[in-house]
Amino acid sequence: MCSVFTLKPCNVAIAAASTITEPSWKRKYASASSQVVTNVATIAPKNRSSLLLKQLGIPHTDLRVEEIVERQSSNNTDHELSRKIKPELDGEFLDESYERCREICAEYAKTFYLGTRLMTEERRKAIWAIYVWCRRTDELVDGPNADYMMTNSTVLNRWEERLEDIFVGRAYDMYDAALTHTISQFPLDIKPFRDMIDGMRMDTWKSRYQNFEELYLYCYYVAGTVGLMSVPVMGISPTSSASAQTIYDAALYLGIGNQLTNILRDVGEDALRGRVYLPQDELAQFGLSDRDVMSGKVTDGWREFMKAQITRARSYFNLAEEGASHLDDASRWPVWTALLVYRSILDEIEENDYDNLNKRAYVGRGKKLLMLPIAYSRAQFRPPALLLS
């Protein structure tokens, strides 16, 4: 274990790296890429979703969400889920741990941080801890220290072992300690956390996506998982008549919508890193290729392509809206705020006349604040079935 008391927010990735040098880990996978190739090949796209999804042309890959929902709804205390571990942490240390998580969330994720400020204290602390774990995981593969750490399967395997430790109450540093405590307070499942690490594995070897199915899988791994991690913290309204599956699906869609938006916002930046997340077959349908993405020229063809991409990203936010109304009363406002603010990045791309090759779309603070009352009024809505019960 490393010394954690000197960590500063900007050292998050270094802190992650400092504990991954021990040589004794077991290798779970022969290599990062073979693991992911296997996943892509064996998780057959399975259209088990509603007519609405079919009409939208959205493939719903079998992402084993049912497995998570089933455990979440059961009272099986033997399972890793719902284990009430009691980390031996004193109040002051824990307060400091959460405070460090808060600082990082405030510094790196203004939109999410705004959302968390609208939550109850317990929930907001839990989301800060989850945020920091997600951010550190992402930093391992594309943060400033990623090259220095030569991110490879070893680093990610070690990070996954460390995750397993966190879930049994063993923390390596202060950030882990906050998450360990969160796990003792909320019925979090380790699965989406593991899946996010798989997504980062994927990002280390894959820089092109042939079609939307491939991209969707990546988006699930790195972002849909965040939705699944968040539901147990946000809570489902006790009067909701919706199935847990419906609500988890909606949370997953919010993650997908966020990530598609992220990808559309960052096309130019990602291209500079040699990455094109846009589906190759869809680029070709619009007479475009990687070369157009790299050229930085915003043509009419590019605009038309972007319009279609934006429409699809919005459709995921729309699907998420349905589930947001079934969350616990106290969680609806923050979730609606995050949804509206993140979705409005798409409006900004339109405002920029679809120039996401040279400009980064940005939602100003004023606009964000204006969305608070709109989100508040949306959050007052409860599905009609609840009013009857």
Which partner, Mn ion, ligand LST6JFWI, none, binds residue 323 by CB below 5 to 8 Å per kind? ligand LST6JFWI
Contact between 213 and Mn ion by CB under 5 A: the answer reads no
Residues 91-130, mask of contacts with ligand LST6JFWI (x by CB under 6 A) = ---------------------x--xx----------x--x
CB of 371 to ligand LST6JFWI, least distance (A): 13
Concatenating the DSSP letter of every residue in 302-354 gives HHHHHHHHHHHHHHHHHHHHHHHTTB-HHHHHHHHHHHHHHHHHHHHHHHTTT
- Pairwise CA distance, residues 55 & 288, whole Å: 26
Q: Which of 101, 183, 324, 346 binds ligand LST6JFWI (CB under 6 A)?
A: 324
Residues 6 or more apart whose Cβ sits within 8 Å of residue 63: 43, 195, 217, 220, 224, 252
What is the enclosing helix (H) or strand (E) of 240? none
Which partner, Mn ion, ligand LST6JFWI, none, binds residue 135 by CB below 5 to 8 Å per kind? ligand LST6JFWI
Which partner, Mn ion, ligand LST6JFWI, none, binds residue 246 by CB below 5 to 8 Å per kind? none
Q: Which of 177, 320, 340, 346 binds ligand LST6JFWI (CB under 6 A)?
A: 320
The bridge status of strand 208-209 relative to strand 276-279 is parallel
Angle at 228 between CA 375 and CA 240, to 5 degrees: 60
Note whether 307 and 244 are within 8 A (CB). no
Contact between 36 and ligand LST6JFWI by CB under 6 A: the answer reads no
- Pairwise CA distance, residues 372 & 333, whole Å: 8
Bridge partner residues of 209 (DSSP): 279
Half-sphere exposure of 228 (CA within 13 A, CB side): 30
CB of 255 to ligand LST6JFWI, least distance (A): 4
Site for Mn ion in 126-155 (CB under 5 A): 138, 142
User: For binding to ligand LST6JFWI (CB under 6 A), which residues are involved?
Assistant: 112, 115-116, 127, 130-131, 134-135, 138, 142, 222-223, 226-227, 230-231, 234, 247, 250-251, 254-255, 258-259, 262, 266, 320, 323-324, 327, 334-335, 338
